[in-house]
Structure 1
């Protein structure tokens, strides 16, 4: 079936998408990751908690508001954002999806938008159609429920399914409206690391359904004013993190973007978690801003009391990520200090690989 035929068929049946299948079956074997943000100074720890998304999460750093210019109007120095990182606005470009004050960008780092949609308020479901040129994609979906508190909004979630397959994944809804114009380009990356989404076929039309569901029953729900968005990005070049046997256990982008600037992968380290807990260590760049991605992979099935990991040596806000998850953090300056992956809470899993990756600004 080509893309035109698929679009016609979906239009015909748009009012009869049916009930979502059992969500728990679709997420069996996937690792749920949790992020905990902590306000720190030079790596010391205090407490705040935030929940994150499921497997294969590609963290989007967002776009901080500009605050102070780093030079006079005639200077070539960049603007500085609220997080102390270089900042520049990214103007609208051909291929952007723009609606209701929100935007999915056509290009973010080396990732390309191939299908994006910003729903009308009150619209509880829609489909994204595209013809894959690669099986390496990220799938993102967002859900806002204006007028509801965060607690009440968490009773709902946005689910994502590939047409013709039972697999589902999703994320919790939030109350209010998005604070930033640009929607996250990152999302879940289906498939084994470095192998792509096996259910996709290059050149064969594909469809993903985005739907608002009750978080308890997993059945379609309707909430006044609810707004859903969704996007498929085809990924740019990826680097793989490998275990001691040489098997890929995680894939990370070779280029990330933060606050309108591109950062390229320049160093990485990976190693087993069962050697003194988490011995991975590298050094921050000698100078200048940088991004650092850290996480663990191939840690096995989720445990009743999972471990949480953090990266020692960070300055400013720090995060913890649950075993099997990853996090990317912006650092305003490098001074060569050591960066070490540590178990922050609980005990290390019996197996798995930990990794740290450094990104520095492109010239």
Structure 2
């Protein structure tokens, strides 16, 4: 076969393969989808996700992928680390999630289960969702987004969350930009560990979420906002561990399972003591990754001891201080050592309970 015949034969075989897919378009489309799914990802984690997706697209554009090597290259099973030094992964959409316009109410968060949830259309100033309670232990969320509104405009409006037929409501300010794609529970009604007495298991209930104007107009008046978007949900919470005061009364109910950056952590220990006198809680720092929930609880603590606080020592990178009567959770990155201890700043109150709970990673 001469050179001319060889060229003709190659051209014929190429035509038989059909048109070639545009690799650049496939990669670009894949990157756009990844950015939407990982809207809250930052730094190297997001970059790695895009790179991995691009490789997948390049090997699936209609032509056979090259054969895999007999011995695949070594890969690391270590999890991606977030900016706080903790394991990070994106939680994909799952059956039962409520997803709309870039907002998501997950069907399950830690051990809490979504039983009613809705994301409204743009411009709706009142939305609702009904369910039949099986438990009085619930958590509520309500979100009001005014896209692009500066803080001084958004703060004129408030989202209010209530159950139809009940008096009172829970409220928070609107925002111009949501903190992230996933909307989390904001309020846990009822006394600690006792549940919400106004709910009756088996009796249908309706969650109502609405936006009202609280600054610059008639306080609490209904409004018309073409761009506003509301979301609301009810979660039945999972098992809890009680923190009790010296009299044996439950003062805080801590969830048995917490979630942080896509990973679940289970409560491993709880240490508590009276705030008034004596040693405050301290534990050996877990080697991590772990979470530590700490603070204090007691009637009127915040008002009675405005100049006092609790401080957590032994945790690198923590700002340390919390006002009395409040609590929260801090990450404990892998490799942490030493002792975590609570210390009182200012005058110690004559009542109240301090506590420190450690959560360890669920494999």
Bin of the TM-score, shorter chain as denominator length = 0.7 to 0.9
Q: Select the residue among 234, 237, 244 that pairs with 2:236.
A: 234
* Cα distance in 2, alignment partners of residues 222 and 336 from structure 1: 55
* Cα distance in 2, alignment partners of residues 290 and 136 from structure 1: 26
Give 3-state SS (helix, strand or coil) of 2:355's partner. strand
Q: Does 1:126 align with 2:127?
A: yes
Aligned in 2, Cα 1:320/1:153: closer, same or farther, shift over 3 Å? Answer: farther
TM-score, length-scaled by structure 2: 0.74
Q: Which moved more, 1:99-108 or 1:295-304?
A: 295-304
Q: CA deviation at 1:108?
A: 1.1
Q: CA deviation at 1:311?
A: 2.0
Report matched runs for 1:317-328 at 5 Å: 317-318=318-319, 320-328=321-329
Q: CA deviation at 1:200?
A: 0.5
CA contact (8 A) 2:301 2:352 kept: no
CA contact (8 A) 2:314 2:341 kept: yes
Aligned in 2, Cα 1:349/1:162: closer, same or farther, shift over 3 Å? Answer: farther
1:259-284, Cα deviation, whole Å (9 max, x unpaired): 111101001111111116x8222221
CA contact (8 A) 2:301 2:324 kept: no
Over aligned residues, Cα RMSD in angstroms? 2.4
* Cα distance in 2, alignment partners of residues 349 and 89 from structure 1: 43
Report matched runs for 1:261-300 at 5 Å: 261-275=263-277, 279-285=280-286, 287-300=287-300
Q: CA deviation at 1:334?
A: 4.7
Runs of 4+ in 1 over 3 A off after TM superposition: 62-66, 221-224, 307-310, 319-322, 346-350
Query: Which residue is 1:44 aligned to?
Result: none
Aligned in 2, Cα 1:179/1:241: closer, same or farther, shift over 3 Å? Answer: closer
Q: Does 1:202 align with 2:209?
A: no
Aligned in 2, Cα 1:172/1:312: closer, same or farther, shift over 3 Å? Answer: farther
Query: Which residue is 2:189 aligned to?
Result: 190
For structure 2, list consecutive stretches of 5 or more residues without a partner in the other structure: 1-38, 49-72
CA contact (8 A) 2:163 2:207 kept: yes
**Which structure is higher in strand share?**
1
Query: Which residue is 1:67 aligned to?
Result: 44
CA contact (8 A) 1:141 1:230 kept: yes
Aligned in 2, Cα 1:160/1:349: closer, same or farther, shift over 3 Å? Answer: farther
Query: Which residue is 1:311 aligned to?
Result: 312
For structure 1, list consecutive stretches of 5 or more residues without a partner in the other structure: 1-61
* Cα distance in 2, alignment partners of residues 295 and 224 from structure 1: 42
Query: Which residue is 2:213 aligned to?
Result: 214
Q: CA deviation at 1:337?
A: 2.1
Question: Bigger radius of gyration, 1 or 2?
Answer: 2
TM-score, length-scaled by structure 1: 0.74
Q: CA deviation at 1:323?
A: 2.8
Report matched runs for 1:10-49 at 5 Å: none
CA contact (8 A) 1:67 1:82 kept: no
Aligned in 2, Cα 1:146/1:343: closer, same or farther, shift over 3 Å? Answer: farther
1:113-148, Cα deviation, whole Å (9 max, x unpaired): 111111222221112211111110100111222232
Give 3-state SS (helix, strand or coil) of 1:310's partner. strand
Q: Which moved more, 1:214-223 or 1:82-91?
A: 214-223
Query: Which residue is 1:100 aligned to?
Result: 101
1:186-239, Cα deviation, whole Å (9 max, x unpaired): 221111111100000111101121111233523333334122211111101000
CA contact (8 A) 2:80 2:87 kept: yes
* Cα distance in 2, alignment partners of residues 66 and 200 from structure 1: 44
Aligned in 2, Cα 1:244/1:305: closer, same or farther, shift over 3 Å? Answer: closer
Q: Which moved more, 1:96-105 or 1:151-160?
A: 151-160
Q: CA deviation at 1:258?
A: 1.0
CA contact (8 A) 1:64 1:82 kept: no
Q: Does 1:351 align with 2:354?
A: no
Give 3-state SS (helix, strand or coil) of 1:84's partner. coil
* Cα distance in 1, alignment partners of residues 139 and 196 from structure 2: 9
* Cα distance in 2, alignment partners of residues 347 and 144 from structure 1: 41
* Cα distance in 2, alignment partners of residues 228 and 246 from structure 1: 41
* Cα distance in 1, alignment partners of residues 212 and 321 from structure 2: 29
* Cα distance in 2, alignment partners of residues 223 and 115 from structure 1: 25
